[in-house]
Amino acid sequence: MQINSSRFIMSNTNVAMCPQNFLPEYAFIGRSNVGKSSLINSICDKKNLAKTSSTPGKTILINHYLINESWYLVDLPGYGYARISKTKKEEIRNLTKNYFKKRKQLINAFLLIDIRHEPQSYDLDFMIWLNKNFISFAIIFTKSDKLKNNSIETNVLKYKNVLNKNWDSNPPMFVTSSKKKTGNDRILEYIKILNSEFYKYKRA
């Protein structure tokens, strides 16, 4: 898939106020400082489309970006060690869960994971929550430029082994580097396939 246009549409703290035109949506979520904004900018090939910050947890809104005038890329608040109050963390958690439960046009969630780290309980718990709520998801490993190829393969295998304990098959996995722009084409081709299925079903 070629991205010909990408533009910011709106930010929200209220799921009911999100776009109502029922275009397919793909949500990007992950731990604070996982490189989510950098990946979005890399995929869309637009440097400042999503604002990056040195302060983890700055994104506390649902951000919609319209891609090719036909689907939305949704930037959701991060989770993890952000330096915010417990009350604010709970608000973000509720906002995120409301989004996943109420957005019928959500096609797939992309869970971003820093490939340099061992499997973390909060990521695994979130995958289990998505699965229990019948939300399709894929895993995007970020910051692969920080590791050598053999370490990348080893760390991906660690996740596969852990996930095999919970599921018969693993979700789709993509290894990316925003710096080197690797993995973007595979993600976009996957979205293209899902979009085709969405519009085929919609016309039926």
Domain regions of the chain by residue span: 6-203
What is the end-to-end Cα distance of the chain in Å, rounded?
A: 23
Residues paired with 11 in a beta bridge: 63
DSSP secondary structure code for residue 134 in this structure: T
6-203 architecture in CATH? 3-Layer(aba) Sandwich (3.40)
User: What are the phi and psi torsion angles at 186 (to 5°)?
Assistant: -65, -40
User: Residue 55 above 70 pLDDT?
Assistant: no
Give the pLDDT band (50/70/90) at residue 203. Answer: low
Which 3 state secondary structure label does DSSP give 103? coil
Q: What is the mean pLDDT of residues 172-191?
A: 96
Alpha helices in 115-173 (DSSP H): 121-132, 149-163
Question: What mean pLDDT value characterizes the chain?
Answer: 90
In this structure, how many other beta carbons lie within 10 angstroms of the beta carbon of residue 70? 12
Q: Between these two residues, 203 and 135, which has the higher pLDDT value?
A: 135
Residue 82 has pLDDT above 90, yes or no: no
